[in-house]
Amino acid sequence: MIRNHGKAWVAIGLYAFLFVSACCQAQVASRPEVTEWTWEVRPEHVDSQLPNVLLVGDSITRNYFPEVQQELSGKANVYLFAASTSLGDPRLDTQLKDFAALEGVTFSVVHFNNGMHGWAYTEKEYVASFADYVATLRKIAPGAHFIWASTTPVKKESSPGPTNARIKVRNAEALQVVNRESIIVDDQYALMLRYPNLYLDDVHFNPEGAVLQGRQVVKTIEAYLK
């Protein structure tokens, strides 16, 4: 009788595991955009005497990366991982880990944002994935200082694309996780809200705007390079 009960509990446990696994897989299905991309940049010459800095984000990050790279020349080796893959998409976790494995360096500072993509995911789904996103970054950069950049406002809203109302919700919810994790905030939203004349298109900023963004990014990073 004891053996039969044991088998019954094993069967119940296995069924529960399969049920939970099936539910999780259903919840994390990819919802790719029409155009998907990744953009990785590494220093042409790595100075082993300098700390390594990683910028993670999307096309907004890619836009201000050159300014950050220039400003930190001689102070840090600056890397970039930018992608259209959004929070909520299980591919992002794999892409970040593959990137870190490929580079094989220790990052001292990670400046990150991922908010201008993934509009097929609800704000609830976005926020539910944010803690896991931070956990993945901590895995690929253990011991690093982390800085979160808030998502910038858009000039023209689109549906089901970005709207400023949705961006505000995502920023507010992400901020709760960031504060709980004791992560420094680079408020790019507040910065670019002051420059409505510097848009290049409905979402991105022109070269002058990118320089302003990059300089604020550098200011937050430099505090950890001294």
pLDDT the model gives residue 28: 60
pLDDT value, residue 36: 87
pTM above 0.95, yes or no: no
For the sheet with 107-112, list strands across it.
38-41, 77-83, 52-57, 107-112, 145-149, 184-186
What pLDDT score was predicted for residue 126? 92
For the chain, which ranges sit under pLDDT 50? 1-27
Supply the pLDDT for residue 14. 42
d(CA 159, CA 169): 16
Residue 199, amino acid = Y
**Number of alpha helices (DSSP H) and beta strands (DSSP E) in the chain:** 7, 6
Q: What CATH class has 33-222? A: alpha beta
Q: Cis before residue 32, ω within 30 degrees of 0?
A: no
Sign for the CA dihedral angle at 204, 206, 209, 213 comes to positive
pLDDT at 159: 81
| Amino acid making up residue 114 | N
Query: What local confidence, expressed as pLDDT, does residue 4 receive?
Result: 46
| Three-class DSSP category at 148 | strand
Residues 6+ apart with CB under 8 A from 121: 31, 86, 87, 88, 89, 129
pLDDT at position 9 is 45
**β-pair partners for 217:** none
**Token digits of residue 45:** 């010459």
- List the alpha helices (DSSP H) in the chain: 2-27, 59-71, 91-103, 123-140, 164-180, 188-193, 207-222
Domain boundaries, the chain: 1-30, 33-222
